[in-house]
Amino acid sequence: MEKYEKIKVVGRGAFGIVHLCRRRTDGALVILKEIPVEQMTRDERLAAQNECQVLKLLNHPNIIEYYENFLEDKALMIAMEYAPGGTLADYIQKRCNSLLDEDTILHFFVQILLALYHVHNKLILHRDLKTQNILLDKHQMIVKIGDFGISKILVSKSKAYTVVGTPCYISPELCEGKPYNQKSDIWALGCVLYELASLKRAFEAANLPALVLKIMSGTFAPISDRYSPELRQLILNMLNLDPSKRPQLNEIMANPICIRPLLNLYTDIGNVRMRRIEKSLPTMQTGTHGRPGSRVTGTRTRGGLSSLISTKMMHSLPLSSVYTWGSGISMPLRLPMLNTEVLQVSLGRTQKMGVTKSGRLITWEAPTVGCGEVSLPGAVEQMQHQFISRFLEGQSGVTIKSVSCGDLFTTCMTDRGIIMTFGSGSNGCLGHGNYNDITQPKIVEALLGYELVQVSCGASHVLAVTNEREVFSWGRGDNGRLGLGTQDTHNAPQQVNIPVDFEAQRVLCGVDCSMIMSTQHQILACGSNRDIFSSSEEFSAERSSMQMLVHQGGSGRARGQQESGSLVSQE
């Protein structure tokens, strides 16, 4: 133990104690499993020795790394990699009822997939794959499977018969005492994927007989319909009662739903041999952002998986890119992504928000002072204009369709036409009938009887239009920006009186004015008329019909004909 300094006990298992230690040579944190061998049965000693043998055979970025083992005070000590992000089970439990984004689910899943593929290639069965045995790095973005204490090395192609593993994850063939092979690990992998998508186990019961009955029936609650049919089908395929009908790991990798998240990792898909990659590389002349330039070359990574790396380290292909500029940022700055596809963005005075393809809100925030990570050697330091991305919590079972930001507050609309708001409640901008601040999206209850189709935020007011062409406004009323004929402020939605023949289609809010556009490209405008003529002559000539909208000024409402309809493209 002279190599290690014990810090604390982080776990106690059936075979011993798990210590968090510091390696004296370099200060790195490691895990030491202390397994007493003196009082062990023969089978327990074999299991402990088996874990060491298994760990020596495995070398993969998504598998906990093995360092060494030694005897200390009649105990077997196994030194291995420390994963500071905790277990995937803890991560799921902390979500409460806030479902994960599908892109995040697949980001985790394909890493487990690659790890299990490496395990099976070594002719090893894990036999206890579960969320408690899947660990996360400190950023909770990289997953690593561990705990191979009951793995079985298949010296031949024979099948294993021993019933092992956590009951909730055991396969139907194990329940029946049938032979165990790689397809039982596929069943457990399906249970893990289901748990990521539903935040609960596929099979649970009060006692073991009831649990076995549930597993043997193969019935489980469907996952949320916010997820794609392809994800639901993948779970069904892996949780097929017939082992022969469950897909192989390489078939899962080739599934279209897995290809994109696999390509977004720095590893290749499955067992692609280096010579095959190198053969195709001479025709590739691409830089790090898809521009002609640096030549791409192949390299070898830990675990025998290959990466494509340019002379400046090739980035994984993003699903989408979002840029920001202004407020001291003179050039467009790419914002960090969470392995997801962003379809729409909006920003207010302090917040930057986006909506993902799977209907979640993503926000970009400046990091807290002093929490920056140590940069890699040779990296260029960026002391300012850095942002971190995260998914907004409190969206359980809700699919967001669009987002709009005002000053210090945000409105979002669901796929069912429901408006939700959060942020600062000053000026009544949240529409909840009060001036309270809200940290999580909350439904605007006054509009629950309506199906909203579009919403827009000004600095301190909101307009929304329904599928029945009705318009509602709330918030600060200065200059008549709410279109209600007064300058009063309202903390709850008020219906705007518009002409009977005017079919409202879209609403647009400026800092202190508002516009409503009809299906016939007619426009109603209200609010401040202070700065409308301060623009260039070229702009005024190009949008001459807009001048008609503001002749009445102040809190009045004007109406004019937009001949070209080009306002739609100018949003």
The answer to whether 128 is a known catalytic residue is yes
Q: HSE of 436 in the Cβ direction (CA atoms, 13 Å)?
A: 8
Q: Cβ-count burial of 186 within 10 angstroms (0-12 exposed, 13-18 middle, 19+ buried)?
A: buried
Eight-state DSSP code of residue 453:
E
* Alpha-carbon dihedral 258, 264, 267, 272, rounded to 10 degrees: 50
Distance, first Cα to last Cα, the chain: 66
3-state secondary structure of 59: coil
- Which of 101, 128, 147, 268 is catalytic? The answer is 128
Eight-state DSSP code of residue 54:
H
Helix (H) or strand (E) holding 304: none
Q: Which of 342, 358, 433, 429 is nearest to 400 (CA)?
A: 358
Q: Cβ-count burial of 32 within 10 angstroms (0-12 exposed, 13-18 middle, 19+ buried)?
A: buried
The neighbour count for residue 240, using CB atoms within 10 Å, is 17
Query: In the structure encoding, which two tokens stand for residue 72, read together?
Result: 């200390």
Place of tokens 């739903």: 257
Count the residues in the chain.
Answer: 571
Q: What DSSP assignment string belongs to 383-413? A: -SS--EEEEPS--TT--EEEEEE-SSEEEEE
Residues 312 and 544: their CA atoms lie apart, in Å, by 51
Place of tokens 């909840």: 432
473, 514 Cβ separation under 8 angstroms = yes
Residues 566 and 474: their CA atoms lie apart, in Å, by 27
Q: Which residues are catalytic?
A: 128
